[in-house]
Structure 1
Amino acid sequence: MIGNIYDKLPKAVSLGINGARRVRQTAVALGRTGLERALGDRSAPPDVLRKLFERLGATYIKLGQFVASSPSLFPEDYVAAFQQCLDRTEPVPFHRMLKILKQDLGAGCLGEIFADIDPVPLASASIAQVYAATLTTGEKVVIKIQRPGVADILVTDLNFLYYSAVALETVLPRFKHASLSGMLSEIRNTVLEECDFIQEAENIAVFAKYLEDTGNTTVMVPRVYPEASTRRVLTMERLFGIPLTDRKQLLATTSRPGDVLGPAFETWMSSVMGCALFHADLHAGNLLIMADGRVGFIDFGIVGRISEKTRNGVKKLVPAMITLDFVSLAEAMTAIGMTREKVDTARLAHDLKVLYDAGESDDLADLENGYAPAMVVDPDRFMLEMVRVAETHGIRFPREFTLLLKQFLYFDGYRDLLFDMGDWMDDMMPMDMPAGMPRFFLPNDRHTL
């Protein structure tokens, strides 16, 4: 059995220059973290580990994001800490990024394809940097360029971690119950897919086709320029919109932001039910309010694909959440989750009601009937609490569902950001869900801008 592991190692683990470089980088990051600890840093262990992951770069940032989106698998304090895992890095100098661009699109791409490129990146993350540019045909675009060597680093790190987990589970069989190799295999596949910009372009195409097929004119995605895109370079239409992070500018353009965000939520919700994929990273920076009132969905590097079982469970879950039917909610959660024993849905329903009631603040205690109590202010915290309640009843959710739930809670968080979301929930539900339900994700109508 051990021999089988050794047979696999040469195929997966780079022991050459990349491996040596990563050993050195890891040693430097560990040394810096240890020094800070010795000099008096008394941060909690989860925060120390998060900072270390950020210093170790792309692979470990992605691992941290996996921890943050998997509350069924990791301790609550670590999940909460890794919610703050920042995917922002010091930008690589432009001349090095331009070298990758020329390698993939040709030495004359600057002049033949692009009339100009702003050398200051719009964004710099662990996997790629984004630049504003203009095509020779006049269109304003953004170019997403993969950081040099990042794919090799990811392969080296993830393969090493994966085969280390395989070896550990072989030598110590009790670790098989933790399914470390299974988790790392999932992370590896997900992260390497995120590095494939051709796949991201296909994700955009699938979602754009879904919008076209459903006649949706309220949401848009950027146009992709295939002739200026490769596995490491993605050229897209630049959307000049207002991100939800800019609350002041958004409220200066409309007095009823809910009239814009409502259709966006409806589109996202219906895509969960009817599209081959759904956007799984709808933080405020990835939603742009356009001048014509449409909402732009950007950055399809992280998408979700749910099983038929989860999809059917969600169809029951959403109306149950909106109507505060805790028994139906408990039944839907049981259907979605994985459990080895029979769940007492009556007890689970009671515990869910306690959780919802606990989110009710004193000044909102007199909300009219038909409105849900205010949820925990932090959407991530509410997700953790919901999962915690389910776990006490022996339910473990698949990661696809926690990704889904987090997007729900992103939208609910925008309620707190923008206060009055108007009456958009009446029309937001997919056709197979009843309309006119009480507003779950919204504050009371008394709240005005």
Structure 2
Amino acid sequence: MLAARANTLIKSRSTWAASRVRYASTASEKDKFKVVVVGSGSGGLTVANQIYNRFKSAGKALKEGDVAVIDPAEFHYYQPGWTLVGAGLKEKASTRRPLASLIPSHLALIAENVTSFSPTTSSVTTTSGRTISYDTLVVATGLQINWGNIAGLPKALADPSSGVSSIYSYDTCDKVWHDIEALRSGRAIFTQPAGVVKCAGAPQKIMWMAWDRYQQTKRGDNITIDFYTGMPTMFSVKKYSDELDKLRVRRGVGGHFQHNLVAVDSANRKATFKRADGTTVNEDYTLLHVTPQMGPLDVIKNSPIADEVGWVSIDKETLQHTKYPNIWALGDCSSAPTSKTAAAITAQAPVLTENLFSVVDTGKLSGARYDGYTSCPLLTGYGQLMLAEFKYGLEPKETFAILGDQKSPKRLYYHFKKDLFPWSYWNFMVKGTWFGTWGIRPRFPAASD
């Protein structure tokens, strides 16, 4: 059923993209733009609107169509909502909207993928072979989820009776809730790979929600829960990690560190993990929640704008490219050494926008600097959430410390995650009018703040 749905979705996207490409090509002969934004995810939509608004506020308004967004996607997704879907708190349809409905008339949408970057000629090439030139380029393509890096995983996800699921895709996030609810006894394993993933706290958020669900429904005594992570600790920031490990011990959740999932045998319900010493171990499971491996997109990795790993190489404070001054990047595709979250984008977008505007207007950078702020709203159960906020150096940078130490889960933070953040996202963030902890008016801290 999942495989059929995936095939239908792919076909519908292809048909829609083809029609949009024809529209973009016939409705505008324009192949040169003041600003080109590659990607229409959280970072792309947010920054495209903020750039347009910033020029307008300075009395130097860009004309309609001067800012182009390149992306063939049919839908725009609120990906943080997939954890809520997996926990039975939201319907997955509420986490997406047609992309076209979110593109205001002052932005041009080119419904194609970028296949190559040519920074020396200030242009990109699209799937149709079209060359799009720019004065300024913003890269916000996101990252790549490498489902196939774990042997047997795609097959297991497509099998409705496999007990294997993941909150990391629209097509599988509702299967997570189905599997959690279906489990009456046995062993539930939740995994996290070593390395970069979107919202590094999400793999255990869904675990804590499952644990709490089992307690509430009196199944807890019949279900064993284990956390297998490729990381050496529960979380990258020691303050929150220590508290989460105490929670793990208190709740009787097994902790298996530096264990990377490498294969799934769904027919026999076995998961194979590779340990730090290179040896492997097979574990039986009844339910398996998988966080897949992730990395930079191939189109970025194989381009001249990438660093040695494959991320867009930028200055971590100004968000300007390290080699090409008319290129910028934000979000998951960038080399900024911070967690890849929507919260990070709320802090990055206004800094990027201010610096981009200043360079175009005066030829010089502004004083705006990104300090690495990011946030991970760590669900620890129904009605409770630990609000982890931190910056470069893995130093806590807490917004609500006045309410008490944020390492302690609170119901207020839970409603931030469940209710406030989704509402703010759809009504303000993707429209370029939400600046995270700064609210509706951005301010720009120096990097030392």
TM-score by length of 1: 0.26
Choose 1 or 2 for highest CA Rg: 1
TM-score by length of 2: 0.26
**Higher relative strand content:** 2
Q: Which has the higher contact order (CA 8 A, sep 6+)?
A: 2
